[in-house]
Amino acid sequence: MKNMRLSISSVVLAALLVPVIMTYQIFPGDTNFFQFGLIFLGLFVNFSLDILKIPEKKYYLYKYILFWTLLSLSVGGAFVSAIIVRHTVAPVFQIHDIILQLEAAIQFFRHGINPWEATYLNTYMAAWHYSDTMINPALYHFVMMPFYLLFSLPFYFVSNHTIGYFDGRIPLYFLYLSLLIAAFKLIKDKEKKLLFVTLLAFNPAMFAYTLEGRSDVFMFAFFFAGLFLLFKKRYSYAVIFIALAFAVKQSIWPILPLYVGYIYFLSKGFQETTKRLATFAITFIILVVPFVLWNPNAFLNSTVLYLSGNTLHSYPISGYGLGALLHQVGVIKDLNASYPFIIWQVIVIAPLLSYLLYLLKKNTNVRMLILTYALLALVYWYLSRYFNNSHMGYLTMVFLTAYFWPESSDKHEN
């Protein structure tokens, strides 16, 4: 029998769920008090289970059922409402511009137009409010990698033939749910399982950005799947999913030297390392190179130079990192100008990377790979052209994953 106690997962679920339903619309019409009533009843039952003397197996079965029910009513309601309300109000209503760009890029692609070469001046992006004084540079550059578009295509065709329209957040929300299910399956400890999935699902540093359609979870779901398969020692499949993450968004790219080091430390020699990395490289090449060859200059400008400030209409210096600090003290006068952040990055990151690889060699496991990536990405972004609020939100998700990831007692996992 389970002892009477207040579960931390019950407290965290209530603390994070209530702000979601009080902040975001969870029903597309007028306030649905029946839906709210069910949610608060579910929270009450969830707390009640903590003080009832019931067998542990039944206790956690009821907890799991309640969690997924409450998730569906709150987060699921918020996601469905966001899509429906946007469709009924306006294309630019409460949406991030990357979704508008994805939807336009799909249309370009369907008509044989290169999304990385095209401009988005005649799309809904032009009506999206970017700034009162500046033009949105994304109107001239599609920054995302090809698999972001390719993975969304089936959802585009299915949704248009079912609900009659497509919202670029539909594949994102599908991956969000897939991420939560994978996290649920990963953790064996029942209390930690509930706590981890609750923090991922209702993470206050990420939820709003995911709801409006930012692409961090889109990439992270593939990355998490790759890590999960690494942990299960399914190396051949793991490298494919990690390559897919690389072909979605550049925010995963800083892990490359750490991932190569991890594979090398796991392998029995250079030949085995090369074999494992070959699958990764082939997957990435198949997905990306055809679009590079379509127009190499356009692709490079949009996916690399745009972010580094080395092309026309570059992404401006922004956020809360070194760039903003240098602008604040007058070292950088123009936020749109090019600045050699790479000098700072080399000076700081070179010794940091060496130390992180040393840590990874001493503790060659998935948890250390995640942690070293999170630390490297944090420093890299802080010293880059931009370090925005959503980047920090994404990093909280990565650090959460590192914290809850199951520990391994073996130095090598092979």
The residue type of 223 is F
Same domain, 334 and 385: yes
Same domain, 72 and 98: no
Instruction: Show which of 67, 89, 111 is a domain's final residue.
Output: 89
Which domain does 16 fall in, by range? 1-89
Cα distances from 37 to residues 40, 74, 297, in angstroms, run 5, 12, 56
Residue 387 backbone phi and psi in degrees, to 5: -145, 85
Instruction: Tell me whether residue 409 is in a domain.
Output: no
- pLDDT(3) > 80: no
Would you state the pLDDT for residue 212?
Answer: 97
Instruction: Tell me whether residue 216 is in a domain.
Output: yes
Same domain, 311 and 323: yes
The residue type of 155 is F
Q: Which residues contact 97 (CB under 8 A, 6 or more apart)?
A: 125, 128, 130, 136, 138
- pLDDT(248) > 80: yes
Instruction: Tell me whether residue 313 is in a domain.
Output: yes
Average pLDDT over the chain reads: 95
CB atoms within 10 A of CB 127: 10
Rounded Cα–Cα distance for residues 229 and 236 (Å): 9
Rounded Cα–Cα distance for residues 283 and 315 (Å): 29
In contact, 217 and 175? CB cutoff 8 Å: yes
Instruction: Tell me whether residue 281 is in a domain.
Output: yes
Confidence label for 1 from pLDDT (cuts 50, 70 and 90): low
Same domain, 43 and 174: no
Rounded Cα–Cα distance for residues 364 and 273 (Å): 14
Beta bridge partner(s), residue 318 = 386
Instruction: Show which of 89, 116, 148 is a domain's final residue.
Output: 89
Count up the domains in the chain and report the number: 2
Instruction: Tell me whether residue 410 is in a domain.
Output: no
Instruction: Show which of 89, 108, 138 is a domain's final residue.
Output: 89
Q: What percent of the chain has pLDDT over 70?
A: 98
Same domain, 121 and 61: no
Q: Find the angle CA(251)-CA(199)-CA(235) to the nearest 5 degrees.
A: 50
Strands 386-387 vs 318-319: parallel, antiparallel or unpaired: parallel
Same domain, 95 and 172: yes
Structure tokens at 303: 């996916």
- pLDDT(4) > 90: no
Same domain, 200 and 59: no
What are the tens digits of pLDDT across the range 113-141? 999 999 999 999 999 999 888 899 999 99
Same domain, 397 and 263: yes
Rounded Cα–Cα distance for residues 32 and 110 (Å): 39
Helical (H) or strand (E) element with 40: helix 33-51
Please tell me whether residue 387 adopts helix, strand or coil conformation.
Answer: strand
Structure tokens at 204: 């206050």
Find the mean pLDDT for residues 263-273: 88
Instruction: Tell me whether residue 52 is in a domain.
Output: yes
Would you state the pLDDT for residue 339?
Answer: 93
Instruction: Tell me whether residue 411 is in a domain.
Output: no
Instruction: Tell me whether residue 301 is in a domain.
Output: yes
Would you state the pLDDT for residue 353?
Answer: 98
Same domain, 61 and 79: yes
Same domain, 393 and 381: yes
Same domain, 134 and 47: no
Same domain, 103 and 85: no
